[in-house]
Amino acid sequence: MDYETKADPLDAVFDGATAEVAVVRPMLSGARIADPAKAAFVDGYLRRGSEVELKSFSGAVAADGGFAVPKEIDEVIDATLKGISPIRAIANVVRVGTAGYRKLVTQNGVTSGWASETATRPETATPTFNEIVPSFGELYANPAATQAMLDDAAFDVEAWLAGEIATEFAKAEGAAFVNGNGTNKPRGFLQAPTAVTNDATRPFGTLQYVASGAAGAFVASNPQDKLVELVHALRAPYRQGAAWVMNASTLATICKFKTTDGAFIWQPGIAAGQPDTLLGYPVVEAEDMPDIAANSLSIAFGNFKAGYLIAERSETSILRDPYSNKPYVHFYATKRLGGAVTNSEAIKVMKFAAS
């Protein structure tokens, strides 16, 4: 009994401490905090069309009533675009705040000179500056779902919408980055003027081409030599990071080329996720590149990070429209996008002509 009496006060002390101390566990590594803006956007705006919740979290409301996509969802769209849009994956992509983006590019670089320790330093020549103004346009997609699909809790509306938008955007921008005419859309690199002259004499903004040697075809004898010539038309600094761009039909023709000792010049990727290579450089398949035909520019080779600029607004806007096509709910997604050749020395093309 004496032991029980002495233990009672001790138990009381621990009971009180347990009641007063709140147990706070640290967040596990990799755990994510739910984003209230994202939840309001997905569960409020996309599923039910409620703008009250969304406005309390986001002030980015477009003039037409559309809302800026939360950062997490926009990053999924951008990652998917980069994965399936071939030119975006190799070009220089910059985020801009307005459609008035300008870029200055120096031609011939800054000149220098040599002098002795005590000699005067004459003034060196001033480089020529060229202003690059990417052609902008508004890219849009308009996927639709039924309200019953949106009301279904098992329907992942976030993943569905991001995938639909990214797929439609990738198709449109992929064509524009190659052949866009610059009118309310990016100006594609194949729309730049071309000349056979080299970098020292060719006007700024004009791409150099290497002739295939035959009209609408490769030359019959050693056609791979023309590809080697195209590679070395590109100056050495640009060859680091360079890639081939062509469509599947053209690649199928080139895959059959062999060296004099019988080895194929095209090599498949030796590991999962690694690109195929041609003469040691990765090959990017772009279905919007033209098929081989008379005077076609069916093959491009260059450092697109240095040669082609994609400028885009940092967010995608979405307008929910449940009225235009009942019982479907449309999601009108828009994004400002521009593109232009910034360095015509960094990209070379092959023209399928005799000269």
Please answer whether residues 174 and 190 qualify as being in contact, where contact means their C-beta atoms are separated by less than 8 angstroms. no
Superfamily of domain 37-108+127-185+310-341: Major capsid protein gp5 (3.30.2400.10)
Pairing, β 144-146 against β 266-267: unpaired
Helices (H), the chain: 2-20, 36-39, 47-48, 51-57, 71-84, 86-90, 147-151, 157-179, 224-233, 236-239, 248-254, 304-307
Residues of the chain short of pLDDT 70, as ranges, are 1-38, 40, 44, 48, 50-67, 99, 107-110, 272, 314
Alpha carbon of 339 to those of 51, 176, 185: distances in Å?
34, 8, 8
Alpha-carbon torsion (289, 292, 296, 299), positive or negative: positive
* Amino acid, res. 72: E
Question: pLDDT for 33-51, tens place per residue?
Answer: 456 666 767 776 777 676 5
CA–CA distance, 208 with 202 (Å, rounded to integer): 8
Report the candidate in 213, 217, 247 with the shortest Cα–Cα distance to residue 230: 213
The model carries a pTM of 0.78
pLDDT number for residue 28 = 45
Q: Which helix (H) or strand (E) holds 264?
A: none
Question: pLDDT for 114-145, tens place per residue?
Answer: 888 888 888 877 777 778 888 899 999 999 99
Whether 192-306+344-351 and 37-108+127-185+310-341 are alike in CATH topology: the answer is no
The three-state DSSP-derived secondary structure of 115-181 is CCCCCCCCCCCCCEEEEECCEEEEEEECCEEEHHHHHCCCCCHHHHHHHHHHHHHHHHHHHHHHHCE
CA–CA distance, 109 with 75 (Å, rounded to integer): 36
- Give me the count of residues in the chain: 355
Alpha carbon of 312 to those of 117, 288, 289, 308: distances in Å?
50, 21, 23, 13
pLDDT number for residue 12 = 52
Report the candidate in 135, 129, 244 with the shortest Cα–Cα distance to residue 191: 135
pLDDT number for residue 260 = 82
CA–CA distance, 244 with 299 (Å, rounded to integer): 7
Q: Where are the domains of the chain?
A: 37-108+127-185+310-341, 192-306+344-351
Cα first-last separation, the chain? 112
Domain spanning 192-306+344-351: CATH 1.10.860: no
